[in-house]
């Protein structure tokens, strides 16, 4: 969990630069395309460990690391985003009793991480000034990014790690890979 959170903290620092460049080229819709990458570390940790509290610990460590590294969006955004992600992911995993890890669940989980944070971010960063067409387009783009760049990519990375045998100590290696 700590390794994934630390790697994400470093990656987020560089993603914010990419995000600002995307904003210059395509505004809120372009920046929405990479949102799934910001959330991947917590879902990947859960995919590997599959135990209650994984999201709380992983996203908390990630927020701490990002706080030390810095963010173009400020400390409040780091903390609120981490809280939103952990609440949603812990809830989803609890609903499935930590036993549903097929591609469908992963796509849903990646997409589900978006809405709560989007509501908070809209208030924090003034997204509501975009107007309804842009706001809806950005939201839909973020949900798709969450499903693909967080959900699908987590499934691919997690299954790849399981196949290497590096995760033999974890619950994910005890269960057969699901499509």
> 16-38: per-residue pLDDT in tens?
889 889 988 988 899 999 999 99
Point out the least confidently predicted range of 77-91, 103-117, 159-173. Answer: 159-173
| pTM summary value | 0.91
> How far is CA 157 from each of CA 66, 69, 116, 176, rounded to the nearest angstrom?
22, 25, 25, 15
pLDDT reported for residue 177: 67
Rounded distance between C-alpha atoms, residue 146 and residue 129, angstroms:
23
For residue 146, the Cα-to-chain-centroid distance in whole angstroms is 7
pLDDT reported for residue 173: 65
pLDDT reported for residue 70: 78
Q: What is the pLDDT of residues 93-124, one digit of tens each?
A: 999 999 899 999 999 999 999 999 999 999 99
Provide mean pLDDT across the span 47-65. Answer: 93
Q: What is the pLDDT of residues 133-154, one digit of tens each?
A: 999 999 999 999 999 999 999 9
Provide mean pLDDT across the span 74-81. Answer: 92
The number of helices, as runs of H, and strands, as runs of E, in the chain is: 7, 0
DSSP 126: T
């Amino acid at each position: 969990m700590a390794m994934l959170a630390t790697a994400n903290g470093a990656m987020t620092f560089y993603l914010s630069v990419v995000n600002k460049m995307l904003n210059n080229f395509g505004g809120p819709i372009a920046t929405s395309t990479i949102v799934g990458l910001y959330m991947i570390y917590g879902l990947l940790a859960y995919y590997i460990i599959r135990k209650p509290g994984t999201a709380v610990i992983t996203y908390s460590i990630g927020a701490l690391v990002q706080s030390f590294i810095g963010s173009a969006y400020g400390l409040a955004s780091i903390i609120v985003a981490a809280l939103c992600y952990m609440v949603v992911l812990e809830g989803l995993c609890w609903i499935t009793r930590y036993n549903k890890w097929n591609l469908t669940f992963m796509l849903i989980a990646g997409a589900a991480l978006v809405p709560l944070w989007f509501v908070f971010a809209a208030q924090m960063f003034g997204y509501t000034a975009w107007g309804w067409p842009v706001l809806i387009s950005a939201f839909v783009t973020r949900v798709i990014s969450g499903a693909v760049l967080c959900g699908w990519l987590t499934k691919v990375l997690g299954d790849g790690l399981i196949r290497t045998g590096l995760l033999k100590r974890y619950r994910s290696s005890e269960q057969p890979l699901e499509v």
